[in-house]
Structure 1
Amino acid sequence: MMKEREHYGLGTAISMIIGISIGSGIFFKADEILIATGGSVWLGILVFVIGALCVIFGSITLSQLAGRSSMRGGVVSYYEEFVSSKAANAFGWFQLYVYFPTITAVVSWVSGIYTISLFGLESSLELQTILGLMYMTFFFSMNYFSYKSGGRFQNISTVVKMIPLIGIGLLGIFWNQNAPALPEGIALVERSNVGWAWLGALAPVAFSFDGWIVSTTITQEVRNHRRTMPLALTIGPLVVLGVYLAFFLGLIAIVGVEFILSAGDQAIGQAGQSILGIYGERILTSFVLISILGVVNGISLGYIRLPHTLAMKNMMPMSGRIKNLDEEKGLSPFAALTAYGLSVFWLVMHYITQRWDILAGGDISEIAIVFSYVLYIILYIKVIQLKKEKRITSVFLGYVAPVLGTIGSLVILLGGWFSNPFYMPIFIGFSALVCVLGYLYGTKHAQPLINEG
């Protein structure tokens, strides 16, 4: 039975990590990173490296659990198998009700924004949201009715989105033209000393790298997963770091530090014009849109499996109905509907928060990203315990990687606090409340899943 479910290979697992991590974030967070560092290129590079190391050491650490896990469900199953079923219930609720649907909603909405930009439509929050809902509906449907199509689109979108990133990186090496003039009406912003405020750049970096953990949800559907997933979780973040640094430095070489500090997001469009002429901005926008759609596809591909995983362990309401599989597709129709329904709910909530500016410029995905890194620390500590029990023999894998991963998570938490000191405590408190409710539900209802390995 297991072999029938092993749909994906190493390439899809790696492309899923790269495809979800490299979304719209890098294209339109690069300016925020440089602004937060006061225009210091070296601090910008340092922030990227810190963010990458958090992911790399975290993923290397979790790969030790992925290779030893015999259950479906990614991180939720790691919690159950290596910590406790009640802790798994807490984390599962966080992923089900907060992490996946908020990010799915926001990225779908962003895809609507760039669709409007690409086709020159009159922009409004309502149209952005409707287009986002259409994209969300399409990708949830595709990943349920045809897992092969979802996997193929993930691979294709990953390759396509790498073209402008690597292209700008390579062109930056040989670029020798003068920096472009600032657009009319934009004041010059020069470099400055920002002190410790550069730590605030870790928040947009965390957003840019976020998504790698989603790939663990398909662990049991990857061929030879005990060997493949540790490789994918190591190679993927390294590739992302290399691409991000190339793009960041290439963008600076083409348009200049002062242009980025002054014009912000317009720097990307200017880079397109500098390279490709008058139609360059539209061409680059089309690549950005494909990049975002790859993220929506990758998240939905992983998310539609999560409710079934929780239902099989009786970790959520209506588990009896959700656990029933469509044997032909190998997926639960009610699980897919649950994931889709929660994503639609959070899209509506996102519309409300944006319409009346409830989060003061933030968005609902900020609730999840920073808090998720805090929850990973528990798993990092468990890997250290496995080393002490001699179930892991390598000092690097058993001690060095989890300790550095823990430090990285705390640094990202600190960076999130610097970036939004008022709302971050609220986000953390809300996420913690969801975890507590999940834990309490688990004390009464959860039951362990039989090993599937």
Structure 2
Amino acid sequence: MELQQKEHYGLSTAVSMIVGISIGSGIFFKSDDILKSTGGSVWLGVLVFAIGAFCVIFGSITLSQLASRSTKQGGVISYYEEFVSSRFASAFGWFQMLVYFPTITAVVSWVSGIYTISLLNLPSALELQTLLGFLYLSFFFLMNYLSYKLGGAFQNLTTVVKMIPLLGVALIGLFWTKEVPSLPQDVVVVESSVVGWGLLAALAPIAFSFDGWIVSTSITQEVKNHRKTMPIALTIGPLLVLSVYLAFFLGMIAVVGTEYILSAGDQAISQVGNSVLGASGEKILFVFVLIAILGVVNGVSLGFIRLPQTLASKHMVPFSDKIIKINDKRGLSPYSALTAYLITVFWLIIHFLTQKFNILAGGDISEIAIVFSYVAYIILYVKVIGLKRTGHIKSTFLGTVAPILGIIGSIIILLGGVISNPLYSPVFLLFSGSVCLMGYLYGVRKKTMRR
């Protein structure tokens, strides 16, 4: 039996979840990866930003057609259940619960630790970064369980705050006339190069930078007038993200130059602060960056703590009868929140080990999960095309053009993920597929038992 959720979120929260989760981590520490993948070419960087963005935009526009027609809770999982089959819903639900949400939450929490260390001038040790990440994710899981109002308010606040440095750097870049800074003596110069089709590797970090829009669908049934609100949010959100990203990317290049970003990597954001605001600029910028990233941790945890509860309400996970028990005061299941929390802590430990022993060749545990999710969306895009053919969707653009472009975008992101990490990406894609298979088989088993 489906749980009835109270509608207590508005359009602003839905949009701020998309913008707030997408903007906050990737743009600050992935810009150098994108520029390196394009060989230092600014305009190729803009091109792949646009490609990655439109992959997301057409995908979100396509899924908005399912969001407006869905009567079930669970976001993308409900789209699979209602428009494909309950077994496919179970498969994707397992992937989201066991891989997608926890890996993103773990990595972004860890990044929060990195920027906290930089802000406080603490020793930059992986152990301390991970410990701080653990404390952050623990705090936000607890806060979002205890009060949905606090979680929603924090999300709205951080979305506004994080726009200040992004738009500030973008505007300053338009009028910047000073010479670019010299590289620190201990930094090796990285020259521009011709990369050919290797530029597609930039799509992996771009996919990470844009990811987050899909998390907003997890609160669909808690959004007021969701059938009209969610399609609007899923269209406006990614467009806002693209505009802000391009403006910040070009502003950052204007202030410090492509050579500095290519050579200094993540240190470039520090130099932007110094160049714009002087000696204290780095600290000031890091405060904004940290707030932005904490907004991501909050937004992802806000969505994740509901996921086990949603799957349990559909009897798609073991111990569903226990997980489904709701705390009436908070409107959430304590077992759902605890399950999500423990899975995230597990992946944080895995992330620590992969970074400690450099297992993923410079990558992290979240990138392949994100790439796999885009591949999984193809099934839903095809379903939207089917709705157009049966007359349920009248618009040719919404029912045919957008989903076809979404499918092409997903394939491009898949190619980019494989190119960026050819050694480990097949392993992680196979792992994610195996998790889906387990969920599918569990769905088959439960359906057989209920007969």
- Distance in 1 (CA, whole Å) between partners of 2:193 and 2:138 is 45
Instruction: Tell me what 2:149 maps to.
Output: 148
- For the 8 Å contact 1:374–1:413, the answer to whether it is kept is yes
Instruction: Tell me what 2:58 maps to.
Output: 57
Describe the SS at the equivalent of 1:189.
coil
1:50-69 alpha-carbon deviations (Å, 9 max, x no partner) = 01001100000000000000
Does the alignment pair 1:44 with 2:45? yes
1:112-137 alpha-carbon deviations (Å, 9 max, x no partner) = 11111110111222211111111111
Alignment of 1:371-382 (within 5 A): 371-382=372-383
Shift of 1:185: 2.4
1:188-220 alpha-carbon deviations (Å, 9 max, x no partner) = 333221111111111111110011100000000
Instruction: Tell me what 1:450 maps to.
Output: none
Whichever residue aligns with residue 386 of structure 1, its letter is: L
Instruction: Tell me what 2:21 maps to.
Output: 20
1:207-254 alpha-carbon deviations (Å, 9 max, x no partner) = 100111000000000000000000000000000000000000001111
Instruction: Tell me what 1:299 maps to.
Output: 300
Instruction: Tell me what 1:227 maps to.
Output: 228
Instruction: Tell me what 2:321 maps to.
Output: 320
- For the 8 Å contact 2:204–2:367, the answer to whether it is kept is no
Does the alignment pair 1:271 with 2:262? no
Unaligned runs of 5+ in 1: 448-453
Query: Structure 1 pair 236/348, CA: closer, same or farther in 2 (3 Å)?
Result: same
Instruction: Tell me what 1:199 maps to.
Output: 200
- For the 8 Å contact 2:368–2:417, the answer to whether it is kept is no
Does the alignment pair 1:236 with 2:237? yes
Whichever residue aligns with residue 8 of structure 1, its letter is: Y
Alignment of 1:93-112 (within 5 A): 93-112=94-113
Shift of 1:367: 3.2
Instruction: Tell me what 1:114 maps to.
Output: 115
Shift of 1:348: 1.2
- For the 8 Å contact 1:315–1:446, the answer to whether it is kept is no
- For the 8 Å contact 1:366–1:427, the answer to whether it is kept is no
Whichever residue aligns with residue 269 of structure 1, its letter is: S
Task: Give percent identity, aligned residues only.
Answer: 69
- For the 8 Å contact 1:161–1:290, the answer to whether it is kept is yes
Shift of 1:2: 9.3
- Distance in 2 (CA, whole Å) between partners of 1:194 and 1:252 is 19
- For the 8 Å contact 1:102–1:347, the answer to whether it is kept is yes
Shift of 1:186: 2.1
- Distance in 1 (CA, whole Å) between partners of 2:110 and 2:181 is 31
Instruction: Tell me what 1:393 maps to.
Output: 394
**Greater alpha carbon shift after TM alignment, 186-195 vs 67-76:** 186-195
- Distance in 2 (CA, whole Å) between partners of 1:37 and 1:202 is 10
Instruction: Tell me what 1:188 maps to.
Output: 189
Query: Structure 1 pair 65/426, CA: closer, same or farther in 2 (3 Å)?
Result: same
- Distance in 2 (CA, whole Å) between partners of 1:298 and 1:161 is 14
Shift of 1:362: 1.9
- Distance in 1 (CA, whole Å) between partners of 2:356 and 2:260 is 30
Describe the SS at the equivalent of 2:191.
coil
Whichever residue aligns with residue 169 of structure 1, its letter is: A
Shift of 1:356: 2.0
- Distance in 2 (CA, whole Å) between partners of 1:132 and 1:189 is 31
Whichever residue aligns with residue 246 of structure 1, its letter is: A
Alignment of 1:352-391 (within 5 A): 352-391=353-392
Describe the SS at the equivalent of 1:265.
helix
Shift of 1:360: 2.4
- Distance in 1 (CA, whole Å) between partners of 2:273 and 2:447 is 53
- Distance in 1 (CA, whole Å) between partners of 2:180 and 2:349 is 42
1:346-379 alpha-carbon deviations (Å, 9 max, x no partner) = 1111112222222222221123110000000000
What is the TM-score when the length of structure 1 is the normalising length? 0.97
Whichever residue aligns with residue 269 of structure 2, its letter is: I
Instruction: Tell me what 1:256 maps to.
Output: 257
Query: Structure 1 pair 4/354, CA: closer, same or farther in 2 (3 Å)?
Result: closer
Query: Structure 1 pair 318/355, CA: closer, same or farther in 2 (3 Å)?
Result: same
**Greater alpha carbon shift after TM alignment, 47-56 vs 188-197:** 188-197
Describe the SS at the equivalent of 1:112.
helix
- For the 8 Å contact 1:108–1:296, the answer to whether it is kept is yes
Describe the SS at the equivalent of 1:13.
helix
- Distance in 2 (CA, whole Å) between partners of 1:52 and 1:88 is 26
- For the 8 Å contact 1:59–1:234, the answer to whether it is kept is yes
Instruction: Tell me what 1:404 maps to.
Output: 405
Instruction: Tell me what 1:335 maps to.
Output: 336
Whichever residue aligns with residue 432 of structure 1, its letter is: G
Whichever residue aligns with residue 320 of structure 2, its letter is: S
Describe the SS at the equivalent of 2:363.
coil
Describe the SS at the equivalent of 1:77.
helix
Whichever residue aligns with residue 249 of structure 1, its letter is: L
- Distance in 1 (CA, whole Å) between partners of 2:272 and 2:115 is 17
Instruction: Tell me what 1:70 maps to.
Output: 71
Shift of 1:4: 6.8
- Distance in 2 (CA, whole Å) between partners of 1:183 and 1:279 is 18
Unaligned runs of 5+ in 2: none
Give the root-mean-square deviation of aligned CA atoms.
1.6
1:34-76 alpha-carbon deviations (Å, 9 max, x no partner) = 1111111111000000010011000000000000000110000
**Greater alpha carbon shift after TM alignment, 109-118 vs 144-153:** 109-118
Query: Structure 1 pair 181/147, CA: closer, same or farther in 2 (3 Å)?
Result: same
Instruction: Tell me what 1:138 maps to.
Output: 139
- Distance in 2 (CA, whole Å) between partners of 1:254 and 1:190 is 18
Whichever residue aligns with residue 244 of structure 1, its letter is: Y
Shift of 1:3: 9.0
Describe the SS at the equivalent of 2:194.
coil
Shift of 1:446: 4.8
Describe the SS at the equivalent of 1:311.
helix
